[in-house]
Amino acid sequence: MGSRGMTHGKGPGRPKHQPLRTCLGCGQKKPKRELVRVVRTPSGAIEVDPTGRKAGRGAYVCPGESCLRTAVRGRRLERALEVAVPEEVLDLLAKAVSDGTGRVAEPSRPVETPRASRVSPPGTRSGRDPLKG
Ligand SMILES: [Zn+2]
């Protein structure tokens, strides 16, 4: 009996799904990465979440002062988070959006640095020996 081994390769890679979130200020849906995330952690603390990866209930605003102001004054932010947002968090948020990046300096937290340098193994392939007897 002849047996044929057929191996099906995996399909082509799908395009990356871009998660959209709604800004509490202007109400526009934007890619999550372009928004500043505020999170209510499981312990109940409100934090600005530059990484967008903290666990908890999140709310999003554009990195712009007008959107932040609308979100805060309209109480949309605290309604979204279901708790009042402390002033220090609003302060951090204001800094984050004024920077335009949504990044917040957190001195007490070590920053993860991705390792960009790759160590390539040295090629130890020896050529043909030119000397032959
Ligand atoms: Zn907005």
- CATH number of the CATH domain containing 65: 3.30.1230.10
Domain holding 41, by residue range, is 20-99
- Give residue 6 CA to ligand 1 midpoint distance, Å: 53
Task: Answer whether residue 29 is part of any domain.
Answer: yes
In degrees rounded to 5, what are phi and psi of residue 131? Answer: -95, 115
- Give residue 37 CA to ligand 1 midpoint distance, Å: 12
CA atoms within 13 A on the CB side of 48: 25
- Give residue 92 CA to ligand 1 midpoint distance, Å: 17
- Give residue 45 CA to ligand 1 midpoint distance, Å: 23
- Give residue 44 CA to ligand 1 midpoint distance, Å: 25
Nearest to 48, CA basis, from 72, 27, 15: 72
Task: Answer whether residue 109 is part of any domain.
Answer: no
pLDDT digits (tens, 9 = 90+) for 64-116: 999 999 999 999 999 999 999 999 999 999 998 886 665 665 555 444 555 55
pLDDT digits (tens, 9 = 90+) for 4-59: 765 666 666 777 788 999 999 999 999 999 999 999 999 999 999 988 899 999 99
Task: Answer whether residue 27 is part of any domain.
Answer: yes
Look at the chain and report how many structural domains it folds into: 1
Task: Answer whether residue 117 is part of any domain.
Answer: no
Task: Answer whether residue 124 is part of any domain.
Answer: no
